[in-house]
């Protein structure tokens, strides 16, 4: 008899690498975690949410629909407001922003997962930034999908490398397995990099060139989770604004980062036939995201409370990023290269090559011993057999730690690094 009745996926799904880090942070109260990707507790919209929920539940007329099942693709008003919101961000006016193309999901995480379910069979290939969002890599691992990393520059992926990888896949006969290029385009997790619009357009053009050999469309999956956490520079337009991209760009966004992760409301704009496939899959998952959570959010967007709140959140992260920048300049060895960001929650630190930051490294254990935690860069790299995984980098977050703890944490980490780096 077999010892377990688990499916292939059930058996294969590995413990996410971040679980241990999160557990450690919770069980050691003195530890300063610069690892967590959490948003700042201090700016979560408690008052606004109470008021809006009260409004929703004020009368049976408004309360009942919120407590009833809803539409699988999302609450109609929230879909309209989301379409308008995105259209405003992109300052665009094309058919990409129709509310019918908007899907509301249980966080954008659910949308990323379902998009892969809709597009990929086991062994299919997804191109990712090198490095990328490690939970996305966990989905690939769980679903038996393969990843190929595309080198990342300070303004997005290296398009020459993208083309080289595609040529290689074509030569090896694997191109028909390639379904999408996944890019975290704003203040990327983990590096803080924002992808230039020209790079999105360039990538779409290159992907299109290889579609004939692939035998099907190759999508650009644009994850804009951190877009609204911008505190410096101008916004960059999304791939939806690129001419001819309406049927190849899949855009995912979220109300988690700018508003409340606990509301678990994400959204996306999807072209056909992906939209219909994802909608059906979502029907099987949950019949639709909780109305009780969608309705207050719709009210926040409609009343302008959402925009006012986002402005406050941006100011808060701007200050915390500034504090982190100053602390890094003061305490980190000069040979550590820092990639600062004009938004999001993260800075990326690159130690000289050869100095490992991995969970089993001396640097990591020394940091832990000194009660400070970071995300080792290595876990953000896909299992790509065509290159060795770099492991000399770290993601440090200014999101959830207080200003005081950012200063203290960077000081502790700097002291540790000075033992290993000149
Ligand atoms: C790059 C990126 N995409 C998507 C998500 C998913 O967020 P949510 O499901 O809260 O929308 C996260 C969360 O940390 C993220 O970092």
Query: pLDDT digit string (tens) for 289-309?
Result: 999 999 999 999 999 999 999
* 158-188: pLDDT as tens digits: 999 999 999 999 999 999 999 999 999 999 9
Which atom of ligand 1 lies nearest, measured to the CA of 257?
A: 10
Res 246: pLDDT: 86
Residue 132 Cβ inside 6 Å of ligand 1? The answer reads no
User: What predicted TM-score, i.e. pTM, was given to this entire model?
Assistant: 0.97
Note the pLDDT tens digit of each residue in 265-276.
Answer: 999 999 999 999
Beta bridge partners of 151: 130
Q: For the segment 240-266, what is each residue's pLDDT rounded down to a tens digit?
A: 999 989 899 999 999 999 999 999 999
Sort strands 125-130 and 146-153 into parallel, antiparallel or unpaired. parallel
- Helix or strand holding residue 372 (H, E): strand 372-373
User: What does the pLDDT read at residue 94?
Assistant: 74
Residue 29's pLDDT band (boundaries 50, 70, 90)? confident
Cβ–Cβ < 8 Å for 70, 265 = no
Q: Is the pLDDT of residue 121 over 80?
A: yes
Asked if pLDDT for residue 411 goes beyond 80, the answer is yes
Tens of pLDDT, residues 361-404: 999 999 999 999 999 999 999 999 989 999 999 999 999 999 99
Q: Is the CB of 149 under 6 A from ligand 1?
A: no
Q: Under DSSP, is residue 368 helix (H, G, I), strand (E, B) or coil?
A: helix
Query: Is the pLDDT reported for residue 2 higher than 80?
Result: no
Q: Which residue in 255, 229, 251 sits closest to 240, CA to CA?
A: 251
Nearest residue to 220 via CA among 248, 185, 178: 248
- Quote the pLDDT of residue 36: 86
416 alpha carbon to ligand 1 midpoint, in Å? Answer: 30
Cα 421 to averaged position of ligand 1 atoms, centre (Å): 33
Q: Could you tell me how far CA 294 lies from the centroid of its own chain?
A: 21
Instruction: List, in order, residues 6 or more apart from 69 with CB less than 8 Å away.
Output: 287, 288, 291
Q: Is 254 in the pocket of ligand 1 (CB under 6 A)?
A: yes
Check residue 296 and give its pLDDT: 96
* 332, pLDDT greater than 80: yes
Tell me what pLDDT residue 239 has.
97
* Ligand 1 atom with minimal separation from the 106 CA: 9
| 397 Cβ closer than 6 Å to some ligand 1 atom | no
pLDDT bin (cut points 50, 70, 90) of residue 25 is confident
User: Which one has a higher pLDDT value, 27 or 147?
Assistant: 147
Instruction: Quote the percentage of the chain above a pLDDT of 70.
Output: 100
- Mutation choice for ligand 1 from 114, 256, 345, CB with most ligand atoms inside 8 A: 256
What pLDDT sits at residue 289?
97
Give residue-wise pLDDT tens across range 196-246. 999 999 999 999 999 999 999 999 999 999 999 999 999 999 999 999 898
Which residue CA neighbors atom 2 of ligand 1 most closely? 225
Q: Where are the beta strands (DSSP E) in 110-218?
A: 125-130, 146-153, 156-157, 178-184
Give the number of the atom of ligand 1 that is nearest the alpha carbon of residue 112. Answer: 4
pLDDT band of residue 3 (cuts 50, 70, 90) is: confident
């Amino acid at each position: 008899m077999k010892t377990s009745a688990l499916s292939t996926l059930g058996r294969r799904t590995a413990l996410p690498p971040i679980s241990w880090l999160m557990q450690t942070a919770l069980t050691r109260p003195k530890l300063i975690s610069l690892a967590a990707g959490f948003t700042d507790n201090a700016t979560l919209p408690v008052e606004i949410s109470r008021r809006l929920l009260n409004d929703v539940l004020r009368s049976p007329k408004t309360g009942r629909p919120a407590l009833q099942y809803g539409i699988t693709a999302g609450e109609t008003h929230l879909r309209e407001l989301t379409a308008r919101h995105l259209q405003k961000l992109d300052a665009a006016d094309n058919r990409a922003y129709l509310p019918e193309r908007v899907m509301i999901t249980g966080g954008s995480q659910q949308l990323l997962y379902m998009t892969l379910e809709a597009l990929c069979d086991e062994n299919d290939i997804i191109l990712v930034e090198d490095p990328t969002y490690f939970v996305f890599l966990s989905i690939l691992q769980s679903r038996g999908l393969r990843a190929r990393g595309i080198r990342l520059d300070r303004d997005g992926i290296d398009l020459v490398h993208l083309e080289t990888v595609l040529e290689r896949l074509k030569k090896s006969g694997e191109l028909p397995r390639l379904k999408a290029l996944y890019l975290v385009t704003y203040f990327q997790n983990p590096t803080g990099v924002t992808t230039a619009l020209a790079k999105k357009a360039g990538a779409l053009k290159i992907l299109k060139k290889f579609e004939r050999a692939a035998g099907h469309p190759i999508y650009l999956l644009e994850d804009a989770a951190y877009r609204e956490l911008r505190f410096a520079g101008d916004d960059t337009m999304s791939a939806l604004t690129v001419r001819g991209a309406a049927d190849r760009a899949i855009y995912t966004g979220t109300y988690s980062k700018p508003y409340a992760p606990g509301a678990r409301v994400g959204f996306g704009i999807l072209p056909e036939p992906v939209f219909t496939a994802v909608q059906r899959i979502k029907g099987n998952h949950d019949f639709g995201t909780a109305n009780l959570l969608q309705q207050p959010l719709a009210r926040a967007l409609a009343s302008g409370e959402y925009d006012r709140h986002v402005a406050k959140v941006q100011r808060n992260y701007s200050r915390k990023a500034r504090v982190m920048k100053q602390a890094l300049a003061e305490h980190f060895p000069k040979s550590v290269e820092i990639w600062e960001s004009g938004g999001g929650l993260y800075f990326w630190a690159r130690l000289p090559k050869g100095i490992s930051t991995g969970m089993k490294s001396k640097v990591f254990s020394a940091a832990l011993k000194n009660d400070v935690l970071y995300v080792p860069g290595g876990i953000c790299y896909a299992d790509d057999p065509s290159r060795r995984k770099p492991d000399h980098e770290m993601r440090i977050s200014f999101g959830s730690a207080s200003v005081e703890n950012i200063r203290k944490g960077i000081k502790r980490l700097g002291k540790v690094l000075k033992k290993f780096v000149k």
